Copies of this chain bind each other. A is one copy, B any other.
Amino acid sequence: MQQKHVFDDAIALEPQRGDRFTGRTSAAYGNMVGPFGGMTAAQALNGVLVHPERLGEPIALTVNFAAALEDGAFDLVARPVRTNRSTQHWTIEMTQNAQTVLTASAVTAVRRATWSADELPPPPVPTRAADTPRAMRDGAIVEWVKRYEMRLLEGAFPPVWDGSESDSRTLLWLRDDPPRALDFASLAALADTFFPRIWRRRATMVPIGTVSLTTYFHASGNELAAVGDRHLLAQARAFAFRNGYFDQSAQLWSDAGALLASSHQIVYYKE
Contacts and interface: CB of A to CB of B under 8 A. Distances in A.
Interface in A230-271: 237-245, 247, 249, 251, 259, 262, 264, 266, 268-271
Chain copies in complex: 2
Contacts of A242: 116, 118, 218-219, 259
A161 to B, nearest CB: 15
Interface residues of A, number: 63
Contacts of A168: 119
A211 interface: yes
A113 interface: yes
Nearest to A81: B100
Nearest to A239: B120
A226 interface: no
Interface in A152-211: 165, 167-168, 201-202, 211
Interface string A112-127: 1111111110000000
A62 B99 CA distance: 22
Contacts of A82: 66-67, 99-101, 103
Given A105-B64, A244-B114, A266-B60, A239 B201 contact: no
A218 to B, nearest CB: 5
A7 interface: no
A84 interface: yes
A55 to B, nearest CB: 13
Given A103-B81, A112-B243, A218-B242, A211 B87 contact: yes
21 contacts: A59-B212, A59-B266, A62-B105, A62-B212, A64-B105, A81-B93, A82-B99, A87-B211, A105-B105, A109-B268, A114-B243, A114-B271, A115-B202, A116-B242, A117-B241, A119-B167, A120-B240, A218-B245, A218-B247, A247-B262, A249-B264
